[in-house]
Homo-oligomer: A and B are copies of this chain.
Amino acid sequence: MVQVVVDNPIGMHVVLDLYECDPQILDDIERIEEILTEAAEVANATVIDKRFHKFSPQGVSGVVVVSESHIAIHTWPEHGYAAVDVYTCGDHTMPLKASEYIIRELKCKRPTLVKLDRGLLFKG
């Protein structure tokens, strides 16, 4: 019998749909950038680049590229909603810790979270 073994996933992707956040924070590009940058640190990831944009009349998008993948946010202050992705690779990273940090800092009262294993390789 051939043994089939699924190896550890290459990455963990935490998909956060965050409802009932503080709309003022969601529309504050400087604060959003601070939160995502700090989140990368909480995840123990290494920031290599970041880009943030403010939309008119409202909303912010931002991506922090880390050596271990990326953290991204898109906000809709008018709905109190933020879509966040915390996607990191490597045993040293803690994407759930970063997710908890982001939920708290956005003052989110109704977070939803899905964890996805990314990159499942077969051994043997």
Which residues of A line the B interface, CB within 8 A?
A: 10-11, 13, 15, 17, 48-49, 51, 53, 55, 61, 63, 65, 67, 69-70, 72, 74, 76, 79, 81, 83, 85, 87, 89, 114, 116, 118-121
Q: With A49-B51, A51-B49 given, is the CB distance from A15 to B13 under 8 Å?
A: yes
Interface residues of A: mostly helix, strand, loop or mixed? strand
What is the total number of copies of this protein in its complex? 2
Instruction: Pick the contact of A83: B17, B69, B121 (CB < 8 A).
Output: B69
Q: Smallest Cβ distance from A8 to chain B, in angstroms?
A: 13
**What 3 A-B pairs have minimum CB-CB distances, sorted nearest first?**
A83-B118, A63-B63, A49-B51
Q: Which residue of B lies closest to A74 (CB)?
A: B69
Are A10's CB and B85's CB within 8 A? no
Are B121's CB and A79's CB within 8 A? yes
Interface centre among A89, A116, A119 (most CB of B within 10 A): A119
Are A70's CB and B65's CB within 8 A? no
Are B51's CB and A83's CB within 8 A? no
